[in-house]
A and B are shown apart, each in its own frame.
Chain A
Amino acid sequence: MYKFKDLVRVEKGKVLLLGNEAIARGALEGGIGVASAYPGTPSSEIVGSLIAVSKELGIYVEWSINEKVAFEVAYAAAIAGVRSLVAMKHVGLNVAADPLMSSAYTGVNEGFVIVSADDPSMWSSQNEQDNRFYGMHAHIPVFEPYGPGEAKELTKYTLEFSSKIKHPVILRTTTRISHTRGVVELGPIPRPPKLKGKFERDLKYSLVPAVARENKLALLKRWEKIREEVEGCPFNILEGDGRHLIIAPGAAYSHVKEAVKVLNIKARILKLGSVYPIPERKLLKAINGVDDVIIIEELDPVVELQVRSILHRMNVTLRTGGKDFVGYPFELNIERVVSALSKFYDLPNPLVQIEPDDGSGIKIPTRPPTFCPGCPYRPLFFEIRKYINKERLAYIASGDIGCYALSINEPYRLQDLIVEMGGSIGMANGLSKVTNDVVFSFIGDSTFFHAGLPALANAVYNRSPQVVVILDNQVTAMTGHQPSPSTAMKDKKAIIIEDVVKGLGIEFVRVIDPFKIDEVRRSINEAIKYVKEKRMPAVIIARRKCALVTLRELRRMGVVLKPCYVEQEECIGCGTCYNWFACPAITKMGKNNKAVIDPSLCVGCGACISVCPVNAIKPPKGMELRKLRDVWR
């Protein structure tokens, strides 16, 4: 039993690591001196792991304000000669696309690896964009591992590769690699890694047009070297024999390997670790003597386009399959690969379920994720929904990326749009100009600092009448409690959001405790009045710690809270608590629709107590409400 940081002094042997931890380990073994990231599923554990060992190794690791800034931190380090890594989720690379494009033009002095953690099937994302295209777009080579063990080795390799060519490299991973735990073989970590560099002044770093034109030509020369270098990449492997060729880049290989066993096919498999550019000579060798070729890849036909283009250029006519058999959307699995291969080779599919799932006809309701018991957002959205219904308010709720996106669900329904990070205030800027509705924008503290600031500055300057609610739980909660500028740390002062918004020129600013639903109602009411009268933005900051953080702190202090309970005699079965407040710990189980609190789910926060119209919900036994308010905060 070990944590990632316990392995810093271990130099060999097999351990069980999460794919993201494997990438972090590979970065350490590859000698990075700097790493940065903005958290985002499925990428967060990479830099989370590196931070845990940064002190011991002396490397510099930071949670940056957003992906663009994170990119610049690591990119600059590599320019100044210190090996670096930046990690982000796929959509984060959109935010960092500006410096990404430039980085190919300037090149770097030391290894610089950009980890893009893509999310096929959109387990935690707004889209499933295939970031291998960024490599094509930016002239940056893209590498992809097939599992956690290879992820470690490939990270190390890409750092070397980047260092050798003096060019940035994209390491693409996907949810099923990043969040799969697998066996990883450890190697030594260089001690000490190179931590300090030197910035060598050079005109090539100043991308004015005349310089950029020169750089483009140099970039294309480096690209020739890159194409040559991937021919020798040890992560491109041709295995097996037969008259069929299956090309399997990245994660696809992990499924193909088992699918050919299921179908009992004799085939060559060209496993690709370099997915852009692909090794041309290796491909030509692989197709020599085969009857057909199929490319099995997830999402878009990035490798297929390259293969078809090479075959066309070389005048090779071969039966070729790809997306027409595999399909575009969502992640791959063994079934999908077996299905594609059985169609391509015209074989029966042994995985087809002959008996459909009988299920005996019972209906299983969906179980959407929900706010945790104790979450400060629940009373906030409960009260706002109540206010809207009571006032019959014409409104639009512009939402954002974070746990509060869960208020899209019943009974709150307060996320009419969720577009991208910072999109709440940004979209409200437009909506408030073309509708007469009251426009709310809901944005978390971390998201506010990430991309809400410019949108709010715009709202002030261009006079956008919107009610901005900043949900300040003082941490980046959804991705696993990484610090945000609103998090006070031992060595870091929190940035006070009310100071920031006042500094931007917001006149209406209220800071409230969302557990106090009277305060919520009053501030919303006043803010709406202000916005209607002044036609200017108003800001409400709803501040209370994430429940999971509070729970952790209480546990550390040895405080065990008993569950709250419903006095059955007093409950009138109105359903306010289980239908409208909707804490998962409260269910309609009692007689006459009465509420019951499940002791295995209740955390004893007491947020529901003020919600009950007849005061039937009681604080944990042996604790007064006032005392509870002091303990749970």
Chain B
Amino acid sequence: MLNIVIVGVGGQGLLSIAQLIGWASLESELNVLIAETHGLSQRGGSVIVHVRLGDVTSPLIPTGRANIMLALEILEAARYIKYMRKDSLAIINRKLIKPNIPGVKVEGEENIVSTIRSRVRHAYFIDATAKALKEGNPVGANMVVLGFLGNILERASILREGLLRRYAEKIGRSDLAIVNKRLYEWGYSLADEEIDSEVVNAVKTWLLKEIP
């Protein structure tokens, strides 16, 4: 089984990418469960989505048992780090959104990043929001991290080649869809450079495990 947590701030498009992973997984003949967060807690709050692939029945990942984290915000990545195994993989949008509390004290960005690095063996930080703003979709960071993950899951032969890209292209109206595709591909090519076969092989073995 492969346990993926997708974390971030409500409104960053976490549910969309979870669903895309779900569709691509089902089409790659994998069982899939996605536990979503809806309703009031979604409005700008802290959000975690559990995505489980393979031989699973419970929708929830136990703490300390997630293999992969996709994070769209660094504070949220740090908040949910308790879900991660030490040998796990984290793909993180290097973006800080301060909680909307008057006078809130937030740790320095460097501190947050190094904490995450110390807890997860393979942590990759991407300036996805900056790229998305430049390309013209302020909330397109999700497509970048999705592209990064898509590359790994394809190389690990978990998802069939090109499936996720095809779905990513269809999100949003015409001009937005073009931007999204570009963002997905940018994330995808980043993983080409940064991810070696050790990580790909690890991901392969995680899927084969029967116990979380």
Residues of A near any B CB (own CB < 8 A):
1, 14-16, 18, 41-42, 123-124, 146-148, 176, 179-183, 253-255, 257-258, 261-262, 333-335, 338, 351, 353, 357-360, 362-372, 403, 405-406, 409-411, 478-480, 555, 575, 578-580, 582-584, 587, 598-601
Determine whether the beta carbon of B38 is less than 8 Å from that of A367: no
Given A1-B170, A176-B59, A258-B57, are A359 and B115 neighbors across the interface (CB < 8 Å)?
yes
CB-CB under 8 A from A362, the residues of chain B are 78, 107, 111-112, 115
Nearest Cβ distance between residue A530 and chain B, in whole angstroms? 32
Asked whether, in the complex, the Cβ of B40 is within 8 Å of the Cβ of A124, the reply is yes
- Supposing A16-B26, A365-B106 touch, asked if A176 and B57 sit within 8 A by C-beta, the answer is no
* Chain B nearest Cβ from A421, distance in angstroms: 14
- The answer on a CB contact under 8 Å between A258 and B39 is no
| In the assembled complex, B156 has its CB within 8 A of some CB on chain A | no
Q: Which residues from chain A contact B19 at a C-beta distance below 8 Å? A: 16, 181
Taking a contact as CB atoms under 8 Å apart, the answer to whether A183 and B58 are in contact is no
Contact check, B35 vs A180: say whether CB atoms are below 8 A apart. yes
Check A580 against B58 for contact (C-beta < 8 Å). no
Find B62's partner among A181, A333, A359 (CB 8 Å cutoff): A333
Q: Are A183 and B31 in contact (CB under 8 A)?
A: yes
**Shortest distance from the beta carbon of B118 to any chain A beta carbon, whole Å:** 6
Residue of B nearest to A41 (CB): B39
Q: Which of B94-102, B184-192, B195-203 faces chain A?
A: B94-102
Do A368 and B99 form a contact, CB below 8 Å, given A262-B212, A357-B82, A600-B129? yes
Contacts of A357 in B (CB 8 A): 81-82
Tell me the bound Cα distance from A40 to B99 in angstroms: 26
Q: Does B210 contact A (CB under 8 A)?
A: yes
On whether A180 and B34 interact (CB within 8 A), knowing A368-B45, A369-B43, A578-B102, the answer reads: yes
Instruction: Give min CB distance, A603 to chain B, whole Å.
Output: 9
Main SS at interface, chain A: loop
- A370 lies within 8 A of B32 (CB): no
Query: With contacts A369-B41, A410-B102, A583-B100 known, what are 17 further pairs, Cβ within 8 A?
Result: A16-B26, A18-B36, A146-B57, A176-B35, A181-B34, A183-B31, A333-B60, A359-B119, A364-B78, A365-B104, A367-B79, A367-B99, A368-B45, A368-B100, A372-B11, A372-B44, A587-B98
Which of A1, A124, A367, A579 is in CB contact (< 8 Å) with B102?
A579
The reply to whether the CB of B63 lies closer than 8 angstroms to some CB of chain A is: yes
Residues of A within 8 A of B125 (CB): none
Complex Cα gap A549–B167 (Å) = 25
Assembly CA distance A257 to B55 (angstroms):
11
Taking CB atoms, residues of chain B closer than 8 Å to A410 are 101-102
A254 close to B43 (CB less than 8 A): no
Ranked 9 nearest A-B pairs via Cβ:
A369-B45, A41-B39, A124-B39, A181-B34, A367-B99, A579-B102, A367-B46, A369-B43, A180-B59
With an 8 A cutoff between CB atoms, is B123 at the interface?
no
Total interface residues in chain B, CB < 8 Å: 69
Alpha-carbon distance A121/B81, docked complex (angstroms): 21
B117-146 near A? 1/0 per residue, CB < 8 Å: 011000000000100110000110100000
In the complex, the answer to whether B37 meets A123 with C-beta atoms within 8 Å is yes
Flag if B22 contacts A124 (CB, 8 Å): no
Min Cβ gap B82→A in Å is 5
Cα distance A364–B76 in the bound complex, in angstroms: 9
Complex: A580 Cα to B42 Cα, angstroms: 22
A587 proximity list for chain B (CB < 8 A): 98
